[in-house]
Chain A
Amino acid sequence: MPGNSLSRSSVAGLPAGTGGALPALMLVGLFFIVPVVALLLRSVTDPEPGLQNYAALFGSGTYVRVFLNTFLVASVVTAVTIVGAFPVAWMLAIMPPAMGSIVFGIIILSMWTNLLTRTYAWMVLLQRTGVINRALIGLGIIQEPLPLINNLAGVTIGMVYIMLPFMILPLVGTLRAIDPMTLRAAALCGASQFEAFRRILLPLSLPGIAAGGLMVFVMSLGYFVTPALLGGTSNMMLAEMIAQTVQSLLNWGLGSAAAFVLLAVTMALYAIQLRLVGARRAGGGL
């Protein structure tokens, strides 16, 4: 290739600054697209060409259960995160900016704290002899320790805690764009707080809920550390299964197939959201 083949005319159709984006684009191309293609190929060639890995995946009750459990956990986490994040986002949206930035700071700080540390902290809090159970027993509220760890409850608590900022941030953007006067108008029109929420605030905040919800759901689908540490053996998630398949069973073909199914589901969800909410809003407020 001649050195000056990338003449001005060949990039004339592209926006200015495209040249500067090339290194990053190449990085993504090289280290994302290529491995994904390799993964796909591996899933249909390892140990021999064919769809036997996918057949095994969907044919086995165990694997299907892991899939279903993964979706269950991601759905529960997303739902709880939305319910938990909404009041916080609303408070942030109507707060004076100075106070809001303090709360924002706390939220961002939590995101910067090491994930593993935070998950281990939850183990300390949630286990049978953990702080929460001992406190509840000490207060006489319960007699026996609550099963808070190695089950769906533990995974949900740990993951919602991690996911909240990813829901709050896009939601605040959407809620800030809503004029509070609109809600006063709704009140004078006769709408109780609940009616105003249901008929005005909720529909107007749907784009933010959809953006944040999709992000949380997709991140939850592929989550590894928190479910592995706080979840039980009976509710294993997909990422953990892939890790076991590849690391313990050395079954790269099956692991690749599972990973590819996860990727396909994620992309399908994104496509659906693009359709429902529109391409511009799907990126959310982040």
Chain B
Amino acid sequence: MSRPFLSIRAVRKTFGAFVAVHDVTIDVPKGEFLTFLGPSGSGKSTTLYAIAGFQDPSSGDVLLEDKSLLSVPSHKRNIGMVFQRYTLFPHLSVAENVAFPLRVRRRPDTEVKRKVGDMLGLVRLEKFADRYPGALSGGQQQRVALARALAYDPPILLMDEPLSALDKKLRQEIQAEIRRIHRETGVTILYVTHDQEEALHLSDRIALFKEGRIEQIGTGEDLYLRPVSEFVAGFIGNSNFLSAEHLQTTAGAATVRLADGSIVTGVKATTPFGQGQKVRLMVRPEAFRLTPGPASAALAVEIVDTSFFGDRRRVVARTAGGDEIDVRPTSDAQATDSATTSGQRIFFDPASAFLFPA
């Protein structure tokens, strides 16, 4: 196996008795877009700050191409970063902001000029070169910040929730820009966000943080289709959790009894459960059908609400056990007005459901 480009080794950060990051270890290949996803306070930003040099880890190491970064002060790490807040220098024009890292590196004027032109072209803000940050929108400011962070061709670009201050439409626009820039520059990106959609949209891999630890790391598909815990299943995508009791497992296929007494067989069980153990059955909203398919399990529900979102329909149903579940029928046939009724049945393929300890 080739040596990892960036290696985060057993990084731990404590604040007094509080452990913010528990021995996080990740290897990042060159050119990867890796996202640290997690709720606030899960240690994702702290880990990023250790790489940036803002907070030294209490123990562990960060290696870039086999050389430790920890003894290198921030300004010599040669790392690019885009921050959550707008951090452009207000007294400098857009062009001078982008030129700043090159000026402190004493690069010749001709090179600075060319590079600033390239960078502003990359973020499509050539026309704004002479404006001052105060005259730009939030989205434009973050694009300038991106240009500034990439101007000196850093091997790693850190992004700390750069879009959280923007509205949804703008966020999607800039996400597309970030994807394009990642493609065009091939820079290795470590991206922090608490927005799972953003993480799924942007990343090659996602490291999901929980209470200072990495709960699961893998591609978006890994996390979505093969969650290792209820936390992962709940954080990535929308999920429905149904209380159930585990009856038996044979050859990885579990049989459970739901709260309403119905029996579901053929559920994937990744961990062993005891007989009679309380469990939670997780079913994605899009896994539900309004019409029975082959080998499907059925749930007696009452349809509470149906709403239309243009490209899809959302149905809220309530089980006999009182759990509210989110159903997202995938085809038109299913969507055809399944009016609000009680005594309705919805169906799902047990093979697409997951079982977690309660």
Interface residues, chain A, with chain B CB atoms under 8 Å away: 179, 181-182, 184-193, 195-196, 199-200, 203-204
- 1/0 per residue, CB under 8 A from A, across B89-122: the answer is 1110000000011011100000000000000000
Residue pair A189, B83 in contact (C-beta under 8 Å): no
CA distance A179 to B133 in the complex (A): 14
28 A-B pairs with CB atoms under 8 Å apart are A181-B83, A182-B88, A182-B89, A184-B52, A184-B74, A184-B87, A185-B83, A185-B145, A185-B148, A186-B89, A187-B73, A187-B74, A188-B53, A188-B75, A188-B81, A188-B149, A189-B100, A190-B76, A190-B78, A190-B101, A190-B152, A191-B75, A191-B100, A191-B104, A192-B75, A199-B89, A199-B100, A200-B89
Question: Contact residues of B with A, CB < 8 Å?
Answer: 52-54, 73-81, 83, 85, 87-91, 100-101, 103-105, 145, 148-149, 152
Q: Quick one: closest B residue to A204, CB to CB? A: B91
> A204 with B90: in contact, given A184-B54, A199-B100 (CB under 8 Å)?
yes
**What are the residues of chain B within 8 A of A199 when measuring CB–CB?**
89, 100, 103-104
Contacting residues, chain A, for B104 (C-beta < 8 A)? 189-192, 195, 199
Q: Closest CB of chain A to B22's CB: distance in Å?
A: 25
Task: Pick from A182, A188, A203: contact of B74, CB below 8 A.
Answer: A188
Taking CB atoms, residues of chain A closer than 8 Å to B101 are 189-191
Min CB gap A176→B, angstroms = 14
For A188, list chain B residues within 8 Å (CB): 52-53, 74-75, 77, 79-81, 149
Q: What is the CA–CA distance of A187 and B148 in the complex, to the nearest angstrom?
A: 13
Contact of B148 among A179, A189, A192, A204 (CB under 8 A): A189
- Known contacts A190-B104, A191-B104, A185 near B75 by CB under 8 Å: no
Q: How far is the CA of A192 from the CA of B52 in the complex (A)?
A: 14
Complex Cα–Cα for A253 and B101 (A): 61
Q: How far is the CB of B153 from chain A (nearest CB, A)?
A: 12
What's the Cα separation between A9 and B85 when bound, in Å? 50
Closest residue of B by beta carbon distance from A184: B54
- The 8 Å CB contact of B75, one of A179, A190, A203, is A190
Instruction: Give the complex CA separation of A280 and B127 in angstroms.
Output: 31
Q: Are B87 and A181 in contact (CB under 8 A)?
A: yes
What is the CA–CA distance of A193 and B76 in the complex, to the nearest angstrom? 11
**Residues in A neighbouring B145, C-beta threshold 8 A:** 185
Name the CB-closest residue of B to A185: B87
Whole-angstrom CA separation of A199 from B92 in the bound complex: 10
- B-chain residues with CB within 8 Å of residue A182 when the two chains form the complex: 87-90
